[in-house]
Amino acid sequence: MKLFVGLGNPGAKYSRNRHNVGYMAVDRIASGHGAGPWRKKFQGQVSEAMIAGEKVLLLKPETYMNESGRSVGEAARFLKLPIGDVVVLYDEIDLAPGKLKVKVGGGNAGHNGLRSISAHLDNDYVRVRIGVGHPGHKDLVANFVLNDFAKADQLWLDPLLDAIAGAAGRLVTGGNERFLTDVALALGQDAPKVETKTDRLRKDRDAGEASASPLKSGGHPAGERAGKRQSALADNLRKWMEGRRKGNSE
């Protein structure tokens, strides 16, 4: 069994807020997969659906955003779910409007709903980050997310929610990258490039070279230490690449 959680605030006045895009996504998944009626449980509204051959409990906490973990924690403990079977869909101001990313664990980036869930459970649940854009200054964030989507946003919001619902089976089976690919294809976009271990090591090597170069003309001790760390990462990359080439030739 999986637990899909859509984050938001209860009540009609919040229903079209950017902060409620998690609610919207779970509602669209429910309607797209023939879920049963919503009922009150676990300090929220729940519904059940069969998605990709597995039972999924859909949950919209009604504890308000900052206390989302009370509802999510109660549901996960009652169902005895491992943390990896909890999928949380929520608004992400650090992504452009309509941009979508999935990650497991990581920081909460100031999102109070995530902070509450991590406090009541653990940190390594699946996060579906739905980009809503940034107002440009941190002091404007609260007002921005607690206001409704603009009319122009409907051009990307409704198709994105439909695509998320259509690809939800991938989240059930653990195919997070395939989920992103299916959403992109449904929206007529190019499939996202999956970052491999080689890509990450190459980025570390390039960053090491960039940070080390200013030291040639005399660098700050802290910068020198960073340069040494990055040089070590670059050495690891070269050794790893040599090992791959050797392995491929055998």
> Could you list the active site residues?
19
Dist. CA 35–CA 49, nearest whole Å: 4
Dist. CA 227–CA 217, nearest whole Å: 13
